[in-house]
Structure 1
Amino acid sequence: MNAVPIHFRLHHTEAVTSFAKLVKEDARFSVVLPGSAEADKPAGLVIVEVGGTQDVPVIAVLAANPSVREIFVIGPAQNADLILGCMRAGATEYLPLPLKVGEFRAALDRFATRNTRSATERNAGQPQPTRPGRIIHILGGKQGTGVTTIAVNLGVEASQLEDARPAALVDMRQPQGEVPLFLDVHYTHTWAAATHNAHRLDDAFMQSLMVRHASGLDILAAPDRSEDTGAAAPQAVAAMLSIMRSMYSTVFVDGSPFVDEISLAAMREADVVLLVSELSLPCLANTRRLLETLDSVDPEVADKVQLVVNRYTTKAGVTIAEAEELLGRPVVWKIDEDYIAAVNSINMGTPLRDTAPKSPLTRNIAKLAATFSRPATSSSPMKPKSGFMGKLFRASQAEAGTDEQQTPMHILQGAGG
């Protein structure tokens, strides 16, 4: 394989000389020195030094160049906003100053591995991913609404659907997640490792943190203690999910019902926020308060919310229409009650598709997973209306004389529920 050229865009000439010496004897790379004929035509690997967020646009320009394979950034440590900005602009590695020789060489090794893998795939004629994955954040109106059961089984079902990339599940419930218990998996790393190593975030590092379930679902466990996440956790979580979007077809997040900086950072990265409620007045009241909180704290996140009714039964005493009226937006999906199937699945550490494949609970979750794993059609979840548009939407329904059988939930479910 031909040597990959490395371009250095550093603040000091002597720094370029030092780096050139580090890679001089590595046959995998060739050094392009400043002032040479090739220096103004970046290709291969580009290493850029940044001093602050004002330098981030340079990275975006380089990332837009198809000749540039990857961008390494060297910059100040403990600057989470700068790190996140660089990663979002297109950097694949962030190496904090003062730079350690071992870290630099390890980063080159990771690049070489990725570059070799890409070349192999190109030579084999394998199609490259052309679209980013989706991030689906799931949280409950209150604790105990079955969010983890839904998240775990959505992930398992999505992993069974045909796609070039697998699905992933991130356990972000605090203070302690339960996803590993639901699937009986043992883990070594948690996403706290990502928040403490924001400068190392790339697909190879993220893959090293995951554990794969027998279904093919990749799982990223939650830290055992919330204090393990570190001060820069919100920014690092956003960068982490952004990277995972490129790695997986769908990333499901088992989210916390508490609106804090970490959960907001995760929801801002999401394409859809599934808010799970039950048809009980206490749960609906809590769900409404949560919606009001999201509306006031971050309206853009609130606009992503789609309501899901879990443990649905006609004997609840509260109808779907009444829940929609109370919450001010449509219910897009319902998941039927099957307490015995759910509890057996949890106690056995086995997904519903294996313990209760014929349960309506299993079928409802499988259908919901499918809506996030295929191109949007007329049967895909409708984006809920909120604020003035929401009122206008509901008013138009009333004027048209629509009834409960024509709500978005029923359009989604289709014949047979």
Structure 2
Amino acid sequence: MTAVSIHFRLHHPEAAASFARLVADDARFSAVLPGTPEDAAASGLVVAEVRTAQNVSVISDLLALPEVREVFVLGPAQDADLILASMRAGATEYLPFPLKVGEFRAALDRFTVRTAHSAQAAAPHPQRQGRVIHLLGGKPGTGVTTLAVNLGVEASALDGARPAALVDMRQPQGEVPLFLDMHYTHTWAAATHNAHRLDDAFMQSLMVRHASGLDILAAPDRSEDTGSAAPQAIGTMLRILRSLYSTVFVDGSPLVDELSLASMREADAVLMVTELSLPCLANTRRLLETLDNVEPDVADKIRIIANRYTPKAGVALAEAEELLGRPIAWKVDEDYVAAVSAINQGTPLRDSAPKSPLTRNIGKLATTFVRTEAQRKASGLFGRLFRNGADDMAETPLHVLQGAGG
């Protein structure tokens, strides 16, 4: 086994000698002291000292070097902002001052495990590739996040061996963690800043698991730069995730920008959520026309969901279909109380209202995305939804789901 080089970027270079002594008898690593010819170009593992959040750019600079695998950060123990900024910049370990020998060695052990997982991930994936389902609203506020969150939870319950994932791509601020009362450290911006490092192990290190089994990848904060290479990295990121999960749901923004298009290009289906109100239908039609013009291949994947449906809306389904120029694939009846209660509790609908028709019917919708091969062969038109694309969709009947508001 070839030893991994450890380079040091410390305020006091002589401190590197202390680290070198710690790994002197560890055949997995080889310490490279500052000032030596071997230290001219960093590679392998870099231990960097970062004292303030304003200096975290050194982390992304190091990770941009092609031979650098990971960066460990040494920093103050009580600076929560620095710890968060360091991890979001791509650091895989944060080691607080004063450094304890046991903590450093444990971090090296974790590095070895991650490296082994990365090597395994480089092999072809024998398992069936999962699906990517991108959801977006015809305008803001149509309940996309409620549908995305609960579809993800239900899909995870359908396949315990390969759970579902949910990527929060709403901009400028995602809300998925609020809907599930979750805390997170990383966002998908870490993937866009580290495109050269994207593999199974790296992507899994960014995910946070909900109690339901659903894995979440949070959206960047408003102030977090996603990098110029973000659109290309988004496509790569979703291809990796579809190899790891049965279904990857994307909670997308009602915008046609490069990030949204990158996700929709990779998606197997695009679910556009609208409401039976004239302003929403008009906005939805404009969005459909835009996609028809700029990205016809994406437009062909679109399926319309009429959310918060009520027969008293004043606009009939047939009228909405005529206005949109497309069939409505599903209608989802309004249940404001159940949806808002779940959001305020920070729980999925299956936990806050397990006996509700809302929960049962979102679960039914989830089965259209997570199915065994035998189920797909037996499911007729419903199961062919994703195999044959728009031609099958023209024949697919309207599926009525009771009570999904939000």
User: Same fold judged by TM-score > 0.5?
Assistant: yes
Deviation (angstroms), 1:325: 1.1
Q: Partner of 1:54 in structure 2?
A: none
Say yes or no: does 1:170 pair with 2:167. Answer: yes
Q: In the superposition, relative to structure 1, how do residues 102 and 381 fare at CA in structure 2: closer, same or farther (>3 Å)?
A: closer
Q: Partner of 1:39 in structure 2?
A: none
| Paired residues for 1:182-193 under 5 Å | 182-193=179-190
Alignment counterpart, residue 331 of structure 2, candidates 334, 347, 356: 334
8 Å CA contact retained: 1:244, 1:251: yes
8 Å CA contact retained: 1:336, 1:360: no
Q: Partner of 1:34 in structure 2?
A: none
* Secondary structure of 2:311's aligned partner: coil
Query: Equivalent pairs: percent with the same residue?
Result: 69
Say yes or no: does 1:268 pair with 2:256. Answer: no
8 Å CA contact retained: 1:176, 1:223: yes
Q: Quick one: distance in 1 between partners of 2:126 and 2:360?
A: 29
Say yes or no: does 1:287 pair with 2:284. Answer: yes
| Paired residues for 1:118-197 under 5 Å | 129-197=126-194
| Paired residues for 1:337-356 under 5 Å | 337-356=334-353
Deviation (angstroms), 1:109: 5.8
Deviation (angstroms), 1:414: 9.6
8 Å CA contact retained: 1:237, 1:262: yes
Q: Partner of 2:302 in structure 1?
A: 305
Q: Quick one: distance in 2 between partners of 1:118 and 1:273?
A: 29
Deviation (angstroms), 1:315: 1.3
8 Å CA contact retained: 2:133, 2:267: yes
Q: In the superposition, relative to structure 1, how do residues 280 and 306 fare at CA in structure 2: closer, same or farther (>3 Å)?
A: same
8 Å CA contact retained: 2:118, 2:200: no
Q: Quick one: distance in 2 between partners of 1:217 and 1:245?
A: 14
Deviation (angstroms), 1:235: 0.7
Alignment counterpart, residue 99 of structure 1, candidates 55, 67, 85: 67
Question: Residues 176-209 of structure 1, C-alpha deviation per residue, up to 9 Å, x if partnerless?
Answer: 0000000000001100111111111111111111
Deviation (angstroms), 1:367: 1.0
Q: Quick one: distance in 2 between partners of 1:321 and 1:180?
A: 36
Alignment counterpart, residue 255 of structure 2, candidates 247, 258, 261: 258
* Secondary structure of 1:238's aligned partner: helix
Q: Quick one: distance in 2 between partners of 1:221 and 1:414?
A: 28
Q: Quick one: distance in 2 between partners of 1:317 and 1:183?
A: 34
Moved more, 318-327 or 340-349: 318-327
User: Residue 367 of structure 1 aligns to which amino acid in structure 2?
Assistant: K
8 Å CA contact retained: 2:242, 2:248: yes
Q: Quick one: distance in 2 between partners of 1:27 and 1:177?
A: 41
Q: Partner of 2:383 in structure 1?
A: 380
* Secondary structure of 2:248's aligned partner: strand
Question: Residues 294-319 of structure 1, C-alpha deviation per residue, up to 9 Å, x if partnerless?
Answer: 01110000001000111111111111
Alignment counterpart, residue 112 of structure 1, candidates 113, 116, 121: 116
TM-score, with length taken from structure 2: 0.67
User: Residue 201 of structure 1 aligns to which amino acid in structure 2?
Assistant: L
Q: In the superposition, relative to structure 1, how do residues 331 and 100 fare at CA in structure 2: closer, same or farther (>3 Å)?
A: closer
* Secondary structure of 1:228's aligned partner: coil
User: Gaps spanning 5+ residues in structure 2: where?
Assistant: 3-25, 30-62, 72-107
Q: Quick one: distance in 2 between partners of 1:197 and 1:96?
A: 7
How many aligned positions are there?
302
* Secondary structure of 1:315's aligned partner: helix
Q: Quick one: distance in 1 between partners of 2:137 and 2:156?
A: 23
Q: In the superposition, relative to structure 1, how do residues 321 and 167 fare at CA in structure 2: closer, same or farther (>3 Å)?
A: same
Deviation (angstroms), 1:225: 1.6
Q: Quick one: distance in 2 between partners of 1:226 and 1:263?
A: 19
Q: Quick one: distance in 2 between partners of 1:151 and 1:353?
A: 14
* Secondary structure of 1:219's aligned partner: strand
Q: Quick one: distance in 2 between partners of 1:196 and 1:207?
A: 16
Q: In the superposition, relative to structure 1, how do residues 413 and 227 fare at CA in structure 2: closer, same or farther (>3 Å)?
A: same
Q: Partner of 1:69 in structure 2?
A: none
Say yes or no: does 1:221 pair with 2:218. Answer: yes
8 Å CA contact retained: 1:331, 1:408: no
8 Å CA contact retained: 1:163, 1:249: no
8 Å CA contact retained: 2:332, 2:400: no
Q: Quick one: distance in 2 between partners of 1:311 and 1:381?
A: 26
Deviation (angstroms), 1:381: 6.8
* Secondary structure of 2:359's aligned partner: helix
Alignment counterpart, residue 396 of structure 2, candidates 396, 408, 411: 408
Q: Partner of 1:247 in structure 2?
A: 244
* Secondary structure of 2:225's aligned partner: helix
Q: Quick one: distance in 1 between partners of 2:254 and 2:323?
A: 19
* Secondary structure of 2:323's aligned partner: helix
Q: Quick one: distance in 2 between partners of 1:192 and 1:280?
A: 35
TM-score, with length taken from structure 1: 0.66
8 Å CA contact retained: 1:161, 1:373: yes
* Secondary structure of 2:332's aligned partner: strand
Deviation (angstroms), 1:115: 5.5
Q: Quick one: distance in 2 between partners of 1:211 and 1:414?
A: 30
Question: Residues 112-131 of structure 1, C-alpha deviation per residue, up to 9 Å, x if partnerless?
Answer: 23557999xxxxxxxx8521
Q: Quick one: distance in 2 between partners of 1:340 and 1:101?
A: 49
User: Residue 99 of structure 1 aligns to which amino acid in structure 2?
Assistant: E
User: Residue 139 of structure 1 aligns to which amino acid in structure 2?
Assistant: L
Q: In the superposition, relative to structure 1, how do residues 202 and 318 fare at CA in structure 2: closer, same or farther (>3 Å)?
A: same
Q: In the superposition, relative to structure 1, how do residues 191 and 351 fare at CA in structure 2: closer, same or farther (>3 Å)?
A: same
Question: Residues 82-118 of structure 1, C-alpha deviation per residue, up to 9 Å, x if partnerless?
Answer: xxxxxxxxxxxxx965634877x99986442355799
Q: Quick one: distance in 2 between partners of 1:182 and 1:271?
A: 25
Question: What is the CA RMSD across the aligned residues, in angstroms?
Answer: 3.2
Q: Quick one: distance in 1 between partners of 2:28 and 2:220?
A: 40
Q: Quick one: distance in 1 between partners of 2:214 and 2:313?
A: 34
